[in-house]
Structure 1
C-alpha cells in the first residue's frame, strides 16, 4: 500500500497547462474540497477506505485559474544533461560528460540554453576554442530551452504514461 501512495499526480491549471506535481493525499484533498477535478486515473490502482473505493488520480485539473508566474526551467548542469539525454551532442557517447559552449565564450558565446550542450571530454577537447563548423563537427541536435512540460514528459514516459496527452513532448524553439 505504501508504494501506491507514493505515486505522483499531475496538476493542471484551468487551461490545462501543467502547474506542478503533488502526492495522492494532496490530490484527494483538492478534489474533496472541490478545488480540482480528477481527469484521468491510474487503471491498475485504487484507494480503499473501510466502506468505499476511490479511483487513484493520475491527472487533476484546478477549477479556478491560478496565475502562477512562470520562472522557467533552471539552467544548470543536471538539467542540461537531462535535456541532452546524458549523451555527447557531437559523437553520441555517454562517458566523461562535460558542458560545451557551442559558440565559445572567448568569441562572445553566452552561458544559455541555446549555447550550451553536453559533450564528452574527447569531443570538447577536439572542438577546443572553435565553433562546431570551424572544428568540422556537427551537432546531433540543436540546443533549445526546455519547458516544464518537456521534463515532466520525460518522467511520465517512465512512471506515468497517463500524463503524456497533457504534456508537450517536443522541444520548443
Structure 2
C-alpha cells in the first residue's frame, strides 16, 4: 500500500516507515495524521502518507558515506556539465587530485566520459565548463530516501516537509 513519512513534533522529517507501523502509532496515540491519500483502511480511517509524532524525539546525526552510488544519487544520475543521463557516467574531481583536490562531497561530481576527458586535469573555469549545480554534502540519509520517492512520482505531498526539495 505504501510508505509513510514520519515527522518529529517540530515537523522535521525523521524517517520513512511502513503504513502498518504508522497505523500502530496512530492507534496508540503516539502520532497524528498530517496527510493522507484518500484511500481508506477502515470506514472513516484514511491511509496516512505523512504522520507527526506527538512528542519530540532527539535523533543523533548520522554521517552519509561518500560513495559512488551516493554521489550518483545526489546528482540525479546526470552529468553535471552537459546533463547527459545515460549509462556510462564517471566521477570527476572539480579540483583535480593532481592539484591537491580531495575526495569530498563538495569536490566530486557526476560526469559523462566525454566531459570528464574534455575537462582533463583542469578546473571547470579553466576548461570553460561551468557546473549545472554546485555540489554539496547531503542534509541527511533520509534526504536520499525521500528523493527516491519524489523522483519516482510517488508521495509528492512529502515535498513540503523536506528542505532543499
TM-score (norm 2): 0.88
- Bigger CA drift: 55-64 or 66-75? 66-75
Q: 1:164: Cα distance to partner?
A: 1.7
- Count of aligned pairs between the two proteins: 161
Aligned to 2:60: 69
Instruction: State the Cα deviation string for residues 26-79 of structure 1 (Å, max 9, x = none).
Output: 001111111111111112x1113xxx4411001011111111112144322122
Q: Please state whether the residue corresponding to 1:162 is helix, strand or coil.
A: helix
Aligned to 1:113: 105
Partner residue of 1:166? 161
Is 1:87 the equivalent of 2:78?
yes
Structure-to-structure mapping, 1:135-146, within 5 angstroms: 135-146=127-138
What is the rounded CA distance, in whole Å, between the counterparts of 1:127 and 1:64 in structure 2? 51
CA distance in 1, matches of 2:147, 2:22: 19
State the shift of 1:169 in Å.
3.4
State which drifts further: 27-36 or 122-131.
Answer: 122-131
Distance 2:147 2:91 in 1: 23
Q: TM-score, normalised by structure 1?
A: 0.85
Structure 1 residue 54 corresponds to structure 2 residue 54: no
Tell me if the contact between 1:46 and 1:56 (Cα under 8 Å) persists in the aligned partners. yes
The counterpart of 1:16, out of the listed 11, 18, 32, is: 11
